[in-house]
């Protein structure tokens, strides 16, 4: 059986000794524990940059060594220029200047010493960078109950078993909760939407609005076309998966398709994971690139830290910490942001939870403004980040 293509990339730089081997083995072990193939993450040595796929999310790890030769690592400058996440591993925090190239010295380094000092932490940072933990693997199934309830349930069970946090209306909305408000909230907080396009799907006002809202952001759309359904103009940004009659393992009494075969479900789940990889790359890149560009336009030095937050050196000598928050900022996420920055001794000039407010409900945006009055972390939408930066240097 051919090997499935990798979906995420780790660029291995510096001294690729036993530390690099240990990190790779730990990451692959964690990936298998999540129920994903071990080759989901591809490890690319800096010596073979031609193996990198520019369309897939990537982070870098630099394994420091004594007397580091900065000229031997040209990928470092490119990753810094691209505002990519880079983990700098050193034998001691006192050895940063000797073991790490100058462009990376403003990034918080991590002591990594065999056989076990901080290896688990680095492996966790890799998984967190790709948002591979269940609480971050959010997916939304959009369908019409009368047409495709059985298939929606099949996909829910299969994706849940693969470590996704799946939203489906019949299982995910508690009693006495405003159904549509919860639906919009979860849609904006998902990386991938699976649309099950049956003959009656497009007649629903809710399903067409879901499609429009997803199209307005970097949420990826996996569009399952029922047999006989054709592409339409409103779905121009979708990735189509054409369901064929032979992919159904069961049928209704009238002969119409009912349940999918196991192999069809597996293919759909794999396609969903591929789109999720693209989604987190696009959503994270939008926030990081846009914010770093805004800061640089104002002459402010910026660095992307290995814990995926952006440090901004303010004229006052203090440091602003901006944390890209993919999806909807919530009080627990904001609390996690505060704890992470506090642990890194960052944010002397303030801490921001940076988010993309496009397509987000006005009521939720108002809620975030209210939270700003009481929490030590300020929620900042990318749309107003430029003005917020200007205010921070006054």
Region 144-171: mean pLDDT is 83
Give yes or no for a contact between 364 and 333, defined as CB atoms under 8 angstroms apart. no
The reported pLDDT for the residue numbered 176 is 45
Q: What is the mean pLDDT of the chain?
A: 83
Q: Of the segments 57-66, 251-260, 359-368, which one has the largest average pLDDT value?
A: 57-66
Write the secondary structure of 198-231 as one string of H (helix), E (strand) and C (coil): CCCHHHCHHHHHHHHHHHCCCCEEEEEECCCCCC
Residue 196 CA to residue 238 CA, distance in Å, equals 12
The reported pLDDT for the residue numbered 43 is 95
3-state secondary structure of 159: helix
- Tokens coding 335: 């609390």
The reported pLDDT for the residue numbered 24 is 94
The reported pLDDT for the residue numbered 55 is 78
* Per-position b or e across 114-148, b if 16+ CB within 10 A of its CB: eeeebbeebbebbbebbbbeeebbbbbbbbbeebb
Fold of 8-129: Rossmann fold (3.40.50)
The reported pLDDT for the residue numbered 263 is 92
Give yes or no for a contact between 250 and 267, defined as CB atoms under 8 angstroms apart. no
More confident residue, 253 or 269: 269
The reported pLDDT for the residue numbered 177 is 47
Region 371-375: mean pLDDT is 82
The reported pLDDT for the residue numbered 359 is 67
3-state secondary structure of 87: strand
The reported pLDDT for the residue numbered 216 is 66
Same fold, 8-129 and 134-280: yes
Q: What percent of the chain has pLDDT over 70?
A: 89
Residue 175 has pLDDT above 70, yes or no: no
Query: Using 50, 70 and 90 to split pLDDT, how confident is the model at 386?
Result: very high
Region 113-125: mean pLDDT is 83
Give yes or no for a contact between 85 and 129, defined as CB atoms under 8 angstroms apart. yes
The reported pLDDT for the residue numbered 347 is 82
Outline where the chain has alpha helix (H): 18-33, 74-81, 96-99, 119-129, 145-161, 169-172, 179-188, 205-215, 262-297, 331-343, 362-372, 385-392
Q: Is 131 left (phi over 0), alpha (psi -120 to 50) or beta?
A: left
The domain spans of the chain are 8-129, 134-280, 298-392
Residue 354 CA to residue 258 CA, distance in Å, equals 43
Residue 72 has pLDDT above 90, yes or no: yes
Residue 298 has pLDDT above 70, yes or no: yes
Residue 76 CA to residue 273 CA, distance in Å, equals 28
Query: Using 50, 70 and 90 to split pLDDT, how confident is the model at 2?
Result: very low
The pLDDT tens digits of the residues spanning 261-292 come to 999 998 898 888 888 877 877 788 889 899 99
Residue 320 has pLDDT above 90, yes or no: yes
Query: Using 50, 70 and 90 to split pLDDT, how confident is the model at 1?
Result: very low
Which residue is listed with tokens 């009080």? 331
Residue 364 has pLDDT above 70, yes or no: yes
The answer to which of 238-252, 288-302, 323-337 has the lowest mean pLDDT is 323-337
Task: Please give the CATH number for the structural domain made up of 134-280.
Answer: 3.40.50.10140
The pLDDT tens digits of the residues spanning 184-224 come to 667 777 888 898 888 888 776 566 676 666 666 677 889 99
Region 46-53: mean pLDDT is 89
More confident residue, 40 or 359: 40
The reported pLDDT for the residue numbered 131 is 75
């Amino acid at each position: 059986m051919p090997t499935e293509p990798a979906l995420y990339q780790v660029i291995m730089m510096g001294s690729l000794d036993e530390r690099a081997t240990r990190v790779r083995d730990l990451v692959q072990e964690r990936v298998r524990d999540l129920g994903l193939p071990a080759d989901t993450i591809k490890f690319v040595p800096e010596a073979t940059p031609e193996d990198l796929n520019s369309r897939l999310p990537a982070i870098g790890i630099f394994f420091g060594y004594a007397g580091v030769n900065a000229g031997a690592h040209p990928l470092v400058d490119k990753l810094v220029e691209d505002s990519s996440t880079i983990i700098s591993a050193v034998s001691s925090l006192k050895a940063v200047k000797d073991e790490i190239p100058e462009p990376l010295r403003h990034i918080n380094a991590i002591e990594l010493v065999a056989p076990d000092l901080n290896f688990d932490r680095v492996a966790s940072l890799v998984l967190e960078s790709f948002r591979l933990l269940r609480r971050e693997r959010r997916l939304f199934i959009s369908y019409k109950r009368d047409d495709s309830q059985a298939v929606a349930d099949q996909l829910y069970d299969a994706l849940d078993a693969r470590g996704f946090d799946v939203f489906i209306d019949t299982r995910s909305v508690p009693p006495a909760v405003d159904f549509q408000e919860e639906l919009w909230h979860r849609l904006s907080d998902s990386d991938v939407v699976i649309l099950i396009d049956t003959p009656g799907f497009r007649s629903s006002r809710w399903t067409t609005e879901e499609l429009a809202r997803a199209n307005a952001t970097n949420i990826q759309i996996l569009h399952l076309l029922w047999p006989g359904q054709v592409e339409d103009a409103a779905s121009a940004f979708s990735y189509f998966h054409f369901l064929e009659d032979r992919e159904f393992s069961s049928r209704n009494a009238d002969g119409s398709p009912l349940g999918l075969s196991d192999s069809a479900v597996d293919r759909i789940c794999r396609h969903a994971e591929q789109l999720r990889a693209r989604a987190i790359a696009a959503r994270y890149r939008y926030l990081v690139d846009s914010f770093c560009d805004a800061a640089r336009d104002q002459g402010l030095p910026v660095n992307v830290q290995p814990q995926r937050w952006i440090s901004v050196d303010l004229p006052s000598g203090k440091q602003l910490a901006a944390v890209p928050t993919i999806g909807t900022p919530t009080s627990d996420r904001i609390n996690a942001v505060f704890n992470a920055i506090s642990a890194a001794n960052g944010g002397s000039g303030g801490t921001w939870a940076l988010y993309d407010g496009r397509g987000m409900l006005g009521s939720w945006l108002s809620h975030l403004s209210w939270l700003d009055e009481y929490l030590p972390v300020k929620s900042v939408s990318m749309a107003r980040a430029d003005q917020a930066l200007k205010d921070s240097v006054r």
